[in-house]
Structure 1
Amino acid sequence: MATIYLVRHGQASFGAEDYDRLSQIGWQQGRVLGRALKFSQATAAKPLAVFGGTLRRHRETVEAMARGFGDGLPAMQVASGFDEFDHVALIHRHRPQWQDHSVMARDLAASIAPAKTFQMEFFAAVQRWASGGFDHEYAESWPGFKTRVLAALDEAVSRAAGKDLLVVTSGGPIAVNVQALLDLSDERTLDLNSMIANTSVTRVLYSSRERHGDSRRSLAVFNNYSHLEAEDPALVTFR
């Protein structure tokens, strides 16, 4: 058996004009994970293939991990299928007035808990998207997103040729893969998405003889962030 490590990116820059870059905490989370991965790989002594999406926060997470890992972490192979859904488009469909970033910033600043308010609005926006009632309003539907993500992992497994596989992606793709493994409802899948920690590791076992269209995979670990807790519990973040 070989292992797929599904890693959520480090903390991005919430509230900034450019969300798609790691915060200082995000960089530290990546370095800590890289050190932990180095130890586990030294113990297992298995070859590793690394994949990630096209997003800056994916690339920077791999860069941070490489700093913690040191020499030997393979270069990331880019696959757009591992990109997150367009959360900006979802928010704008849910709250059209927030297309003006200054209006969104003003509204959030006026709330008692801006981060919690944004999270509630974000969850409502995702539920609207996944409901199936507004598919015509989105460039990518919820079913289309799931199909894209699952196809990307199938392709990565094929290209990994039996190696352990590290995929740096986002919460949405991780939740969708867990859904496929456990046959979860969409509602439960969206709940899972909200609890996946930054740089957490979800481990999936797969057959090294797996052929395209003949997947044999099982979930071993979900959302493990013990590497952060061991370093500093303050490093555990979810947004």
Structure 2
Amino acid sequence: MATIYLIRHGQASFGDDNYDRLSETGWEQARVLGRWLAGRVTPNVVIGGNMRRHRETVEAIASGYRQSFPDMQVATGFNEFDHASVVHRFRPEWADRERMLAELEASGHPAKTFQQTFVKAVQRWVSAEHDDDYPESWSQFKTRVQLALDDLIQWADGGDVFVSTSGGPIAIIVQSLLGISDSKALGLNEMIANTSVTRVLYSGKRRSLAVFNNYGHLEAEDPGLVTFR
């Protein structure tokens, strides 16, 4: 059976004007992954969403890999859901970025406060009680990701594939493979580490989860590189 390696992007730049780019830690995480993959796996195809953090993750992996590495092909179905839209529908005042940052700083625990708010915002989105509020509903997001996986498997035609994507799409794919609830899928999403590798085996229409959220490459080189946001 061939393998799809679902790779969560490196740490993004939380709090910066442009979140959608890797932090210095994110670049190093992906270089470490590239070094770890070199000599172990030779991908036939490399796929990524069209988000900057997906592209930069592939660039950093290729830098660490050092061997011949395929150019990344874009598949927008593997993009993350619109975090900003989800949060702003729950906390409209946070559309003012300066106000959001000020409130987070005033909480004394910015990262923790944001995460708590984010979880509640996502729960509102997933509930399906406010679908008209969002440019993409939870059910539409799930369908998009599942179709992207179907298209990829048909196109890859039995080869090993690297996919640079985000936690949301990885959680949705795992959910579909294991048949778990939405709430459990959300719980998985919170656990997925930056540059972790989730392996899906496939052959024709058969698909199975082989490995979930492996970030041993980071722990082996520098445990301080392990991040989840």
C-alpha offsets along residues 198-237 of structure 1, whole Å, 9 cap, x if unaligned?
A: 0000001111xx1xxxx21110100000000001000000
* Inter-partner Cα distance in structure 2 for 1:111 and 1:92: 18
Aligned position for 1:5: 5
Which AA in structure 2 matches 1:39?
A: G
1:50 lines up with 2:46 in the alignment: yes
Please say if 1:16 is aligned against 2:16: yes
- Say which SS state the counterpart of residue 194 (structure 1) adopts: helix
State the alpha-carbon separation in 1 of the partners of residues 59 and 159 from structure 2. Answer: 21
Q: What's the CA shift string for 1:114-171, capped at 9, x where partnerless?
A: 1010011111111100000000100100000000001111111111111001111000
Q: Distance in 2 between matches of 1:159 and 1:31?
A: 27
Paired residues of 2:80 and 2:166 also in contact (CA < 8 A) = yes
- The answer for the alignment partner of 1:25 in structure 2 is 25
Equivalent residue number for residue 164 of structure 1: 160
Displacement after TM superposition at 1:73 (Å): 1.2
In the TM superposition, structure 1's runs of 4+ consecutive aligned residues that sit over 4 Å from their partners are none
Task: Map residues 44-193 of structure 1 onto 2, 5 A cutoff.
Answer: 46-193=42-189
Does the 8 Å contact 1:157/1:165 carry over to 2?
no
1:221 and 2:221 matched: no
2:66 aligned partner, one-letter code: G
Instruction: Say if 2:36 is the partner of 1:36.
Output: yes
Question: Which one-letter code corresponds to 1:201 in the other structure?
Answer: V
What runs of 5+ residues in structure 1 fail to find an aligned partner? none
Q: CA deviation at 1:71?
A: 2.8
Q: Percent identity?
A: 63
- Using the size of structure 1 for normalisation, the TM-score is 0.94
CA RMSD, Structure 1 to Structure 2 (Å): 0.8
User: How many residues are aligned here?
Assistant: 229
Is the Cα–Cα contact under 8 Å of residues 167 and 192 in structure 2 kept in the other structure? yes
Q: Residue 233 of structure 1 is aligned with which of 214, 223, 229?
A: 223
Unpaired runs of at least 5, structure 2: none
CA deviation vs aligned residue, 1:37-79 (integer Å, no higher than 9, x gap): 11212xxxx5521100000000000000000011311111101
Answer yes or no: is the 8 Å Cα contact 2:77–2:144 preserved in 1. Answer: yes
Provide the TM-score with structure 2 as the length reference.
0.98
